[in-house]
Structure 1
Amino acid sequence: MKTKKKNFITKIVEKSILKQPRRKIKTRFPPEPNGYLHIGHAKSIYLNFNIAYRYKGECHLRFDDTNPKKEKIKYIHAIKKDIKWLGFNWYQKPTYTSDYFDKLYKYAIQLIRKNLAYVEELNPQEIKKYRGTLKKSGKNSPFRNRTIQENLILFKKMKLGVFPEKSMCLRAKINMESSSIILRDPILYRIIFSKHHRTHKKWCIYPMYDFSHCIVDALENITHSLCTLEFQDNRKLYEWILKKLNFNNKVPFQYEFSKLSLEYTILSKRILKELIKSKLIKGWKDPRLYTLSGLREKGYTSTAIKNFCKKVGVTKQQNTIELNLLESCIRNDLNQSSPRRMAIINPIKIIIINLEKNHTENLQAPNHPQIKDMGKRTIIFSKEIYIDKEDFCKKQKKNYKGLVLGKKVQLKYAYTIKAKKILKNKKNKNIIILCKYYPKETKQYKKYNIIHWVSTKNSIPVQFQLFDVLFKSKFPEKEDDIMKFYNPKSYIIKNGYVESIVKKEIIKHAYQFERIGYFLKKKQKEKNKIIIFNRIVSLKNKYKNFS
């Protein structure tokens, strides 16, 4: 029996179990409801929930709803849906940081009473200036030495809405000369006059993430607070706050792992919101995005996403994952379950000159080349068929394996044909190729290259939606002018044909259209409307071609 490979997080968890065997393992996933979840969040979800499952613990879903200007209820619903789609269930009911607003306020008062927090009147630009840089230490605010009583009065007035936004904030009193910028009197509370989705207008001051997160972790008895490396320096503040508030008996510990970076993808919520606002994309569910909703809309499965997270693993080393790895996961998942069909995306008509006009012949084709239990289907060979434009060329090119004038190719599951002549219409755009077929050279005759096809008598017109990366840069978020790398071919609509059997059949998830890729059949709102297929993924890796 194979044992599960342990990453450094699971090793940490197991050591903590040895020290405190009766303490239940508790993790949490704390998304901010200011956008949709993306593939990077999937890695965190996979880690936190699996740690809880593996060690018979609990994983809490907690919404970090501390900024009512950016947060919306629709994002909360979308996040819940994505987590359930991935196949995970949180412990009991979701919690919210807003559940603890009253307690957080009292903890802030405690820090003020201990002379560990003060009300600041410098504006945001001045605060930044006073904080210093990595090379230059900060300097104390002129408001840092207010009396405890003065700070208590001002903070209560902040709560009552006496002061306008950005005029005041509450800062921790730590050390402005610290080598760690995060400890140079960080902001704990700020004023925001916006209606909150749960507390409505009860509050006009809201805690910062660094202040609320560690306290709520402690209140919920979280044992392992897992976050990405960008919060590594924040751990010092996490520990400082819990120590000063005397959470000594049930202090959770923060551990950091590398965040997921994926080639050719935009994961920044800020950039995604700009793209949505500019109408360059259709919204958070656009299939070109690597949001979980976008991937689901394209046709990705939750199994493929989880297998990807498993392959990526958990380390402290920051690196960028190849997009081909994600695509290989969805191919592997769909390969065993997807029936094969033939489809033509760029149709060109073939007329078989040595067949009678109404001739039809039933041929058999496997639904899956490796799985006999999936059975066979009937395909029709007739005088007129369609092949793909890419499978025809007037003259032979190097390594070209399609149909060429004067040469033979094999029609998959059917006969050999030879191109004899080209017929052109008046505009010289649409052409018809006259071919001869050889009835004795069937699918067992493996001398020639093979192309796919569909009969005009056994196909229906459909629409294909082909998706590609939005930007041709491997690292689009690092580009100064991202629009220079915009991919105008990121979304293409093609009108073609597919075997007519797909019109009424119900399948598990997707089809593999032979030699093209895996496709998801979209649900039709109207009965007579043309069927739409989303391409989930092509059959071969391709992103190494971008420069």
Structure 2
Amino acid sequence: MSNEEIRNGADAAAEEETRESRNFIEQEIDKDLAEGVYTTVHTRFPPEPNGYLHIGHAKSILLNYGLAQEYGGKFNLRYDDTNPTKEDTEFVESIREDVTWLGADYEDRIFFASDYFQEMYEVAVKLIKKGKAYVSELTAEQMREYRGTLTEPGRNDPNRDRPVEENLDLFERMKNGEFADGERTLRARIDMSSGNINMRDPIIYRVAHMTHHNTGDKWCIYPMYDFAHPIEDAIEGITHSICTLEFEDHRPLYDWVVREAEYPHPPRQIEFAKMFLTNVVTGKRYIKKLVLDGIVDGWDDPRLVSISGLRRRGFTPESIRKFVDLCGVSKSNSSVDYAMLEYCIRDDLKIGCKRMLAVLDPIKLIIDNYPEDQVEYLDADNNLENPELGKRKIPFGRELWIERNDFMEVPPRKYYRLFPGNEVRLMYGYFVRCTGFDKDEDGNITAVHATYDPETKSGSGFTGRKVKGTIHWVYAGQAVPVEARLYENIIDEEKGVYNADGSLNLNPHSLTVCRAWAEPALQDVKPFERFQFVRNGYFCVDYKDSREGAPVFNRIVGLKSSFKLPKK
């Protein structure tokens, strides 16, 4: 074999490896560009403004934006607001905020499908004139009867062969408000015997006398999604309409609309699998019920996987982008463990967060041999893994707060924290030995007593003896009261998401509120600041309920996890 043949073989192998490393959407786009079908890439994220976005939407946002970035193209944000019954300006604003927060830059390209109502109407008139659409008088129930089944063809609508001029007149009268809701519809004239039920003369316009959030009362007829969506894409010059798998059976109708509307550069629809998380609630109607029933305190409750809920809890855009990247792009539906999302936020925060002292379930520790009026300031590393974050001074004195579970009167085996006679290290401080404890009249432990060894101060180089346990603490004399909220899954994971009647299996312990004590530096903090509370997890300052000098901290995630990245 010649050197040239060897080189050609190596180049071919490298090209094949590169091709296989690209997801199937990238491969399709590469093919379209190579064959001259398109000369650029233009994508969009088209949410309906009828609720808050959730983690599944993040995949679509970042996928569409990422493709535009990869190919040097453009990315649009478009509100698919063709259904006035469910839409609200509150959702319009929340969606804009979520997309921006995730880092998907649509520049000045923010659009509303309702801005295209006139052109959609004109396309419908064009279809009527071509004999491709007709006005139907069938009720919804009759239409279901005529539609057929998966194994039986449908029957023609009695109005299917209505003359063009009559259809034009009726459609004009629909627009002018002469018919009640549901009294007339406009149907595409395609094929009632098609094996794809979506192609059996689908409704493309219906009468709905409702005020629209954007167009007011200008229209009383509204286009159906399957008709409107391809037109919106074509108007905006979208090249690749990336959507989820449930629209795969709708693709023939998408192609039919742009073809019959005679757009010169029709967009192409490509479907990918949704991202499902195990044991979480993403359905808008379920979340809406949780909000209305007062079980959560809004669409941004930190127990929800809405994007605003994740942001409020303390997740970062970087962690969500990493999560979406790890999930990948596929044509097969699968579920992802929520623990992988937690892994991503831990990985993002572990280097950049200061590690602070806060006691969530406090009990008093009294060091009886420490001078009563003395306060000293100890050196503490802000993050041992990131020296650039520097050090700080923390106060230390005779009375401290420690975690209640860091003391046991009668400990089990291999318990290395405080118990009578045992010695532990106070983080950044001294060795202390437990000498006793106080109880109230009900037998509850109210305080723990200890003595300290001045020679064992952290950083002094003391090597005389070792201890197995280290606990954290806060000096009671300067501790600040804070509220810490600990979250669990709002779903009872052992029972699954849904009850037999379709209601949610709610976890009664999804929120625990702690009246905690924290070191003084945690009093003056800003909303969305994130910290590691040593031994307790990562926390974020709640933007909604915190007040000046009285912060509320949401636990983002605990410190430990059994989750491991799957091997490649």
Tell me the TM-score normalized by structure 1.
0.93
**Could you say which residue in structure 1 is the equivalent of 2:317?**
302
1:465 aligns with 2:481: no
Determine the C-alpha separation between the residues in 2 that align with 1:4 and 1:299: 36
Determine the C-alpha separation between the residues in 1 that align with 2:105 and 2:548: 39
Are the equivalent residues in 2 in contact too, given 1:261–1:319 (CA < 8 A)?
yes
Q: 1:203 aligns with which of 197, 219, 240?
A: 219
Question: What CA deviation, in whole Å up to 9, does each residue of 1:105-126 have, x standing for no partner?
Answer: 1111222222222222222233
**Residue 232 (structure 1) shift:** 0.7
Which one-letter code corresponds to 1:448 in the other structure?
A: K
* 101 and 238 in structure 1: CA distance in 2 versus 1, 3 angstrom threshold: same
Are the equivalent residues in 2 in contact too, given 1:464–1:494 (CA < 8 A)?
yes
**Residue 300 (structure 1) shift:** 1.4
1:386 aligns with 2:406: no
Q: 1:338 aligns with which of 344, 347, 353?
A: 353
1:142 aligns with 2:162: no
Question: What CA deviation, in whole Å up to 9, does each residue of 1:227-252 have, x standing for no partner?
Answer: 011111110111122222223x3121
* 68 and 495 in structure 1: CA distance in 2 versus 1, 3 angstrom threshold: same
**Residue 257 (structure 1) shift:** 0.6
**Could you say which residue in structure 2 is the equivalent of 1:258?**
273
Are the equivalent residues in 1 in contact too, given 2:437–2:445 (CA < 8 A)?
no
Are the equivalent residues in 1 in contact too, given 2:273–2:333 (CA < 8 A)?
yes
- Mean alpha-carbon deviation: is it higher for 88-97 or for 161-170? 88-97
Question: What CA deviation, in whole Å up to 9, does each residue of 1:463-517 have, x standing for no partner?
Answer: 1122222112389665544656211222221101111122236799311011111
Count of residues in Structure 1 that have an aligned counterpart in Structure 2: 542
Are the equivalent residues in 1 in contact too, given 2:545–2:552 (CA < 8 A)?
no
* 369 and 446 in structure 1: CA distance in 2 versus 1, 3 angstrom threshold: farther
**Could you say which residue in structure 2 is the equivalent of 1:541?**
561
* 8 and 475 in structure 1: CA distance in 2 versus 1, 3 angstrom threshold: farther
**Could you say which residue in structure 1 is the equivalent of 2:15?**
none
Determine the C-alpha separation between the residues in 1 that align with 2:419 and 2:104: 53
**Residue 289 (structure 1) shift:** 1.2
1:8-47 correspondence to structure 2 within 5 Å: 8-20=24-36, 23-47=39-63
**Residue 52 (structure 1) shift:** 1.0
**Residue 5 (structure 1) shift:** 5.1
1:413 aligns with 2:428: yes
Which one-letter code corresponds to 2:183 in the other structure?
A: S
1:100 aligns with 2:116: yes
**Could you say which residue in structure 2 is the equivalent of 1:194?**
210
Determine the C-alpha separation between the residues in 2 that align with 1:102 and 1:507: 44
Which one-letter code corresponds to 2:155 in the other structure?
A: K
- Mean alpha-carbon deviation: is it higher for 502-511 or for 336-345? 502-511
**Could you say which residue in structure 1 is the equivalent of 2:237?**
221
1:78 aligns with 2:98: no
1:520 aligns with 2:540: yes
Which one-letter code corresponds to 2:314 in the other structure?
A: G
Are the equivalent residues in 1 in contact too, given 2:46–2:78 (CA < 8 A)?
yes
Which one-letter code corresponds to 1:14 in the other structure?
A: D
Determine the C-alpha separation between the residues in 1 that align with 2:145 and 2:414: 64
Secondary structure, aligned partner of 1:485: coil
Which one-letter code corresponds to 2:295 in the other structure?
A: L
Determine the C-alpha separation between the residues in 2 that align with 1:466 and 1:348: 19
* 475 and 216 in structure 1: CA distance in 2 versus 1, 3 angstrom threshold: farther
**Residue 296 (structure 1) shift:** 1.2
Determine the C-alpha separation between the residues in 1 that align with 2:224 and 2:544: 46
**Residue 404 (structure 1) shift:** 2.5
Q: 1:175 aligns with which of 191, 194, 206?
A: 191
Which one-letter code corresponds to 2:178 in the other structure?
A: V
Determine the C-alpha separation between the residues in 1 that align with 2:443 and 2:355: 34
Q: 2:302 aligns with which of 262, 266, 287?
A: 287
**Could you say which residue in structure 1 is the equivalent of 2:284?**
269
Determine the C-alpha separation between the residues in 2 that align with 1:349 and 1:287: 31
Which one-letter code corresponds to 1:490 in the other structure?
A: S
Which one-letter code corresponds to 1:473 in the other structure?
A: E
Are the equivalent residues in 1 in contact too, given 2:523–2:550 (CA < 8 A)?
no
Determine the C-alpha separation between the residues in 1 that align with 2:466 and 2:177: 82
Q: 1:434 aligns with which of 430, 444, 449?
A: 449
Question: What CA deviation, in whole Å up to 9, does each residue of 1:63-118 have, x standing for no partner?
Answer: 11101111112211111111111122215331211121111111112222222222
- Mean alpha-carbon deviation: is it higher for 22-31 or for 129-138? 129-138
Question: What CA deviation, in whole Å up to 9, does each residue of 1:387-415 have, x standing for no partner?
Answer: 11122222222453432233222222222
* 413 and 518 in structure 1: CA distance in 2 versus 1, 3 angstrom threshold: same
1:500 aligns with 2:520: yes
**Residue 213 (structure 1) shift:** 0.7
* 6 and 13 in structure 1: CA distance in 2 versus 1, 3 angstrom threshold: same
Q: 1:151 aligns with which of 162, 167, 176?
A: 167
Determine the C-alpha separation between the residues in 1 that align with 2:37 and 2:510: 53
Determine the C-alpha separation between the residues in 2 that align with 1:451 and 1:239: 65
**Could you say which residue in structure 2 is the equivalent of 1:449?**
469
1:509 aligns with 2:529: yes
- Mean alpha-carbon deviation: is it higher for 467-476 or for 181-190? 467-476
**Residue 152 (structure 1) shift:** 2.1
Secondary structure, aligned partner of 1:436: strand
**Could you say which residue in structure 1 is the equivalent of 2:461?**
none
Determine the C-alpha separation between the residues in 2 that align with 1:85 and 1:502: 26
- Mean alpha-carbon deviation: is it higher for 455-464 or for 501-510? 501-510
**Could you say which residue in structure 1 is the equivalent of 2:3?**
none
**Could you say which residue in structure 1 is the equivalent of 2:7?**
none
Are the equivalent residues in 1 in contact too, given 2:523–2:549 (CA < 8 A)?
no
Identity of aligned residues (%): 39
**Could you say which residue in structure 2 is the equivalent of 1:376?**
391
Determine the C-alpha separation between the residues in 2 that align with 1:156 and 1:372: 72
Q: 1:234 aligns with which of 250, 272, 281?
A: 250
Determine the C-alpha separation between the residues in 1 that align with 2:438 and 2:360: 21
**Could you say which residue in structure 1 is the equivalent of 2:417?**
402
**Residue 214 (structure 1) shift:** 0.7
**Residue 159 (structure 1) shift:** 1.0
**Residue 9 (structure 1) shift:** 1.2
Determine the C-alpha separation between the residues in 2 that align with 1:523 and 1:211: 41
Q: 1:318 aligns with which of 329, 333, 357?
A: 333
Determine the C-alpha separation between the residues in 2 that align with 1:392 and 1:89: 52
**Residue 361 (structure 1) shift:** 3.3
Secondary structure, aligned partner of 2:483: strand
- Mean alpha-carbon deviation: is it higher for 152-161 or for 418-427? 418-427
- Mean alpha-carbon deviation: is it higher for 418-427 or for 317-326? 418-427
* 167 and 527 in structure 1: CA distance in 2 versus 1, 3 angstrom threshold: closer
Secondary structure, aligned partner of 1:486: coil
**Residue 22 (structure 1) shift:** 7.0
**Could you say which residue in structure 1 is the equivalent of 2:379?**
364
Secondary structure, aligned partner of 2:134: strand
* 264 and 542 in structure 1: CA distance in 2 versus 1, 3 angstrom threshold: farther
